[in-house]
Amino acid sequence: MNHEVALERYAELIIRKGCNIQPGQSLYLGADAESRDFAIKVVEAAYQAGARFVHVDLGDDRIQRSRILHSQQEEFLDHIPRSLPVRFDEAVEEQGAMLRLVGTSDPEALSGLDADRTNRCRIAGHKAATRFFDDGIGRSAVQWCVASAATIGWAESIFDHLDGVAARDELWEQLLTIVRADREDCLGAWEEHNRQLKSRGKALNELKIERLRFNGPGTDLTVGLSHAARFEGGGAISQRGQEFIPNLPTEEVFTTPDYRMTEGTVQVTRPFLVNGTLVEGLTIEFKDGVLSDFTAQKGGETFRSYIDSDPGARRLGEVALVGIDSPVFQSGHVFREILLDENAACHVAVGNAYKTCLEGGVEMTPEQLEAIGWNSSTAHTDMMISNEEVDVTAVTTSGDEVPLLVNGAWVSQ
């Protein structure tokens, strides 16, 4: 693949399909400072698409580490500078576009920190963006997209045998293939892929599923769905009426569970990060809708502190189906970055649930949402639960059992 050409195509994909920037619209772009060169390509594509203004915020996780580690008073960690919510609110009010390029230059930056201090900081950050989460994302006022950009530190954490620029180049190669930017007709390939995800979602909705059953080695899990649950996948429509793709890549069809119906044991099939610490070899038990017990080979203490950080963090907020045809799964790598890893396998998330996956959910009162088992939390972490050995079966409201995935692969497209 011609690396430079593929990078241009990827920037184009992010702007034209991911954010779908419209003439006169502003873009808010956040990225790691090491991704500056790629961020500039994205900025160029945005102005060429007619952007009014591109706000660029280049950061570094070590800045956050420094704050959590050295803040002399715990209360300082709750502080929200006035400019922070202003920026989020502005994006919502002007119906702008919000792009986050993930890929930290220092995967270790947030590890080994005091868990309570880290959670305190995370919760304050979440509060600063309340309106963005409620209206920007929840009511699609903003066209938002999360994509990735390769950095050396991130790449070195994935590939044992490669260092420095060689590792970063290999990661770019993988990322560009996964997002189909190696194909000349990248935008066309995404239109086709988007259609397939939409038709999968539609087929699942027509089944009228009451429960999903996951079965495999160490896994016997039931996830219940309310009558209002709707499967979504691929692009979303903003208040401006524009289709955008919230995640690049996206390979999932997902919905909001009735958290009260979660029951059984599940083995997590891939490591994942919690507050910067890798959690590995996790087996979880759910009783009466609550995460009641777990064992972990690594990162258990961090995971415990996370699920105890608020009451909703022990209940499910998402269930998603991904087949082994996913290019992320096919790559054979664990990327240690949830944007990619969640698109490798079926997953469940503890924490906050999307109202947009509930029929009429955005307009429901807190009481109505509670009545159908919608979960609210400041947390949201995806945990991958499938591979080539896991089957997924739908139990419909009329009691039929329909195999959806067998040995990790979709039964029908």
CB of 186 to Zn ion, least distance (A): 23
Is residue 163 within 8 A of residue 264, CB to CB? The reply is no
146 binds Zn ion (CB under 5 A): no
SS (H, E, C) 86-105: HHHHHHHHCCCEEEEEECCC
- Of 60-68, 104-112, 234-242, 341-349: span binding Zn ion (CB under 5 A): 341-349
Single residue of 19, 39, 181, 320 touching Zn ion by CB under 5 A: 320
CB of 281 to Zn ion, least distance (A): 21
CA gyration radius, the chain = 20
Crossing angle (nearest 10°) for helices 83-93 and 115-128 = 40
Interface characters, 229-268, with Zn ion (x: CB under 5 A): -----------------------x-x--------------
CB of 348 to Zn ion, least distance (A): 9
Rounded to the nearest 10°, the torsion over CA 379, 341, 11, 163 is: 110
CB of 385 to Zn ion, least distance (A): 12
- Of 77-85, 170-178, 194-202, 320-328: span binding Zn ion (CB under 5 A): 320-328
379 binds Zn ion (CB under 5 A): no
Give CA–CA dist 214/168, Å, rounded: 36
Q: Which residue number, 54 or 385, has a Cβ lying nearer to Zn ion? A: 385
382 binds Zn ion (CB under 5 A): yes
- Of 50-58, 256-264, 322-330, 349-357: span binding Zn ion (CB under 5 A): 349-357
Q: What angle do CA 179, 99, 47 make, to 5 degrees?
A: 95
User: Tokens at residue 256, please?
Assistant: 């909001």
328 binds Zn ion (CB under 5 A): no
318 binds Zn ion (CB under 5 A): yes
**How crowded is residue 35: how many other Cβ atoms within 10 Å of its Cβ?**
22
Q: Residues binding Zn ion: what is the number (CB under 5 A)? A: 7
Residue type at position 94: E
CB of 349 to Zn ion, least distance (A): 4
- Of 25-33, 38-46, 82-90, 319-327: span binding Zn ion (CB under 5 A): 319-327
CB of 216 to Zn ion, least distance (A): 19
Give CA–CA dist 364/160, Å, rounded: 49
CB of 341 to Zn ion, least distance (A): 10
Give CA–CA dist 120/124, Å, rounded: 6
For CA atoms 182, 188, 194, 197, the dihedral sign is: negative
Q: What angle do CA 275, 279, 285 make, to 5 degrees?
A: 110
- Of 20-28, 200-208, 284-292, 334-342: span binding Zn ion (CB under 5 A): 334-342
Q: Taking the CA of residue 175 as centre, how many other CA atoms within 13 Å lie in the half-sphere pointing to its CB?
A: 30
Q: Which residue number, 210 or 382, has a Cβ lying nearer to Zn ion? A: 382
Q: What angle do CA 238, 180, 153 make, to 5 degrees?
A: 95
- Of 136-144, 233-241, 283-291, 378-386: span binding Zn ion (CB under 5 A): 378-386
Q: Which residue number, 12 or 318, has a Cβ lying nearer to Zn ion? A: 318
With H, G, I as helix, E, B as strand and everything else as coil, classify residue 234: coil
Q: Taking the CA of residue 257 as centre, how many other CA atoms within 13 Å lie in the half-sphere pointing to its CB?
A: 27
Single residue of 349, 357, 395, 405 touching Zn ion by CB under 5 A: 349
Q: Which residue number, 10 or 254, has a Cβ lying nearer to Zn ion? A: 254
Contacts to Zn ion by CB under 5 A: 252, 254, 318, 320, 342, 349, 382
